[in-house]
Structure 1
Amino acid sequence: MSWNPNDNDPWGRKNSPPDLDDAIKQLRKMFFSSNTGGGGSKGGGASFKFNFKFFTYLIMGLLVLYVFLGVRIVNEADRLIVLTLGKYNRVLGPGLQFHFPVIEEIYAEENVSKIRTFVLPTNMLTRDENIVDIELNVQYTISDLIKYSLNVEDPEITIRQATESALRHVVGENNMDNLLTSGAAAISSGILLRLEEYLDIYDAGISVQQVNIEQRQPPSEVIDSFRDVVAAREDKERLRNEAEKYALSIVPQARGEAQRQLQDAEAYKQKVIAVAEGEADRFKALLVEYDKAPEVTRERLYIDALEDVLSSSTKVMIDVEGGNNLLYLPLDQLIKKQEEDDE
């Protein structure tokens, strides 16, 4: 049995949950009052009663909510496009920013320092009417957020279509061999320049940073044959390089040998001229002596001639005057024996 049969707390208040009907009645009293009889309405119904305090709180709450909805914190790399009644108004930079909700709209929010990348796989027709599979990697940034957000409906689709158009134009001006071998870098540069021209025409506010051809190969049906062609071309280049290397090594050697022979010939020429001049001078000197004593000079010349001839001969045959026998002198044996005796 309860100690308080009236269900009151120690302070005399009811110890029961609040009644919903009572709460509704209290709320009605804030706005309406009951007029019965007198100068009131004839039916004695409820009339509106203005509560200034409640209205003030309501207005302040709505105002705080409005301000709260208009406050934005913008990151360092982000920018916000604000439209006022559908018309461009301003760009919000980094930091704590405010706009007027309902009247102003945050149309776009973009990271202007981010490098965006997309890959475009496609197949193209070259100038020599060959089909080649290409995978293109494009990197770009936002150069003008206003143009990027307002001038084109979908910037990503726009740059993809412009890239495909530039790729088709540049690849169509080159042969397949040039695209698949050493001309890929020049083709990438050409695509970059033409893509920038297209984006300038569109006034899209996009700056292309880099264009790379990631993959380039003929269709899978003919790739094996093309690899054989590439291998043959590489062998041709290798043999050509080896030939040029050999030429670079042998030509200087041949030039050096030719120069040496020219120098030897010049030295031999000078030698022959010097010997001839010496012989001529000697002959002139002998002529002077011959004029003075012809017989003596003639005998001396004869003896010198025999000395020159016999000095280089190892065998001598001597004809004995008044006889039929020849005298044989084995000079080589005599010289050899003399050398043995000397040892």
Structure 2
Amino acid sequence: MAWNQPGNNGQDRDPWGSSNNNGGNSGGNNKGGRDQGPPDLDDIFRKLSKKLSSLGGGKGSNSNNSGGTGSAGPNFSGRIIGIAAVAAVVIWAASGFYTIKEAERGVVTRFGKFSHLVQPGLNWKPTFIDEVRPVNVESVRELAASGVMLTSDENVVRVEMNVQYRVTDPAAYLFSVTDANDSLRQATDSALRGVIGKYTMDKILTEGRTIVRSDTQRVLEETIRPYKMGITLLDVNFQAARPPEEVKAAFDDAIAARENEQQYIREAEAYANEVQPRANGQAQRLLEDARAYEARTVLEAQGEVARFAKLLPEYKSAPEITRERLYIETMEKVLSHTRKVLVNDKGNNNLMVLPLDQMLRGQTGKAATEGSKDTSLIRLNPTPSTSNTADAGTSSTSAGSIMDQRRANTQRSDNTRVGRE
């Protein structure tokens, strides 16, 4: 905007209130028109001094009527006061600028009463009227709580817990309660003691840590919700739970014994899981063997009964022949598993046995060194006889020949019986 604007019927409109009709105060430098120069600062401060002096009782007008020497003092003092006033206004305006960080929000109070919130960046406030308190709303704050507490089984345990939270409402955080951090500390201690008092010491020290943590967080949130403290709980960490130092050694022994108990229980369960299936398998195998033996025995008995049932009519028709056949078949089964040779002396009724099994093992050399006597011959049912060894040798036959002879005699008897029929 131009300092002088033409108009008003050829009179310039000066923003400082000067005109062409002013006297020597302007000094001819503040003339109207387009060729008017920049304003004189001395003239500005002089006018400001006059106004301030007029407010003081009109002394400035009296001094103007006096001589030039008397008017210099008041003008100078008024100029100093004006400069001081302008400087004060500038300093006051400059002191109102402030900056809010990115992670903060500014809470503005006007004459002590909450006014509004300001966002991050450069802001201005009227000094001595507004007051700004920055609050960090992004950082995670921590609160530690610890103490000696009583459990439900009347034991004493030392517990330590850490609470993490964040400010979400700066105004409520500052003005809802006197001190939000102290209030949260007291609420945490109260909630932790209430939860610890519901559980036994063994559960708190061992498997109940997760339950204590979740219950403490739930109770703490319910406690601070009515107060509207402007904070939000992020996490509750159950850091440590231990007995007092005076009885710590005894509790350590108890915990070690409990761990050994659990270890032995797991080992016993593993052994039972290993042995039980094996025992079940052995029992099942014994049952299956018993069933198989039962079936085999029954079937064998039934087979024997069927065989005897078929043999009975033959025995009734020819008892002697059937008896002889049974004897031959039985002796064949018995003698088929031995290597001994039976020698029958018909004249002396002596039955000698040749131990061929020992002879096959290479023991015949030892028997030859014991003498020329035929000690290898074992006499069964000995009777006095005058026959010599040569006769016995010529009349001896093997068990196989005896059985063949008996079988032939039986066959002839069967043929004779068939012919008779």
TM-score normalised by length of structure 2: 0.61
- Amino acid of the structure 2 residue aligned with 1:303: I
Farther off after superposition, 141-150 or 58-67: 58-67
Which residue does 1:110 correspond to in 2? 135
The 5 Å alignment of 1:170-249 reads 170-249=195-274
Gap change, CA 1:72 and 1:36, over 3 Å in 2: closer
- Amino acid of the structure 2 residue aligned with 1:146: A
Structure of higher RCO (CA pairs closer than 8 Å, 6+ residues apart):
1
- Amino acid of the structure 2 residue aligned with 1:79: R
What is the Cα deviation at residue 94 of structure 1? 2.2
Alignment equivalent of 2:326, drawn from 279, 296, 301: 301
Residue 113 of structure 2 corresponds to residue 95 of structure 1 = no
SS of equivalent residue, structure 1 residue 137: strand
Distance 1:147 1:309 in 2: 112
What is the Cα deviation at residue 200 of structure 1? 0.9
Gap change, CA 1:288 and 1:105, over 3 Å in 2: farther
Distance 1:36 1:217 in 2: 90
What is the Cα deviation at residue 54 of structure 1? 9.4
Greater Rg over alpha carbons, structure: 2
Distance 1:288 1:72 in 2: 134
Alignment equivalent of 1:83, drawn from 109, 114, 129: 109
Distance 1:283 1:223 in 2: 88
- Amino acid of the structure 2 residue aligned with 1:97: N
- Amino acid of the structure 2 residue aligned with 1:193: R
Distance 1:289 1:162 in 2: 110
SS of equivalent residue, structure 2 residue 177: coil
Residue 182 of structure 2 corresponds to residue 157 of structure 1 = yes
Gaps of 5+ in 2: 1-44, 51-59, 364-421
List, as ranges, runs of 4+ consecutive aligned residues in structure 1 with deviation greater than 6 Å: 27-30, 44-60, 313-323
Gap change, CA 1:98 and 1:321, over 3 Å in 2: farther
Which residue does 1:327 correspond to in 2? 351
What is the Cα deviation at residue 102 of structure 1? 3.8
What is the Cα deviation at residue 173 of structure 1? 0.9
**Is residue 73–residue 97 contact of structure 1 (8 Å, CA) maintained in 2?**
yes
**Is residue 151–residue 197 contact of structure 2 (8 Å, CA) maintained in 1?**
yes
Which residue does 1:125 correspond to in 2? 150
Aligned-residue Cα RMSD (Å) equals 4.0
SS of equivalent residue, structure 1 residue 263: helix
SS of equivalent residue, structure 2 residue 351: strand
TM-score normalised by length of structure 1: 0.73
- Amino acid of the structure 1 residue aligned with 2:131: E
Distance 2:89 2:268 in 1: 87
Q: More strand per residue: 1 or 2?
A: 1
Which residue does 1:336 correspond to in 2? 358
SS of equivalent residue, structure 2 residue 226: helix
What is the Cα deviation at residue 337 of structure 1? 2.5
Which residue does 1:139 correspond to in 2? 164
What is the Cα deviation at residue 198 of structure 1? 0.7
Gap change, CA 1:248 and 1:56, over 3 Å in 2: farther
What is the Cα deviation at residue 59 of structure 1? 7.7
What is the Cα deviation at residue 29 of structure 1? 9.9
- Amino acid of the structure 2 residue aligned with 1:202: Y
Distance 2:190 2:267 in 1: 42
Gap change, CA 1:36 and 1:129, over 3 Å in 2: closer
Distance 1:146 1:292 in 2: 128
Distance 1:186 1:166 in 2: 13
**Is residue 35–residue 47 contact of structure 1 (8 Å, CA) maintained in 2?**
no
What is the Cα deviation at residue 60 of structure 1? 7.0
Distance 2:344 2:196 in 1: 102
Distance 1:257 1:317 in 2: 48
Distance 2:64 2:164 in 1: 83
Distance 2:298 2:86 in 1: 126
SS of equivalent residue, structure 2 residue 225: helix
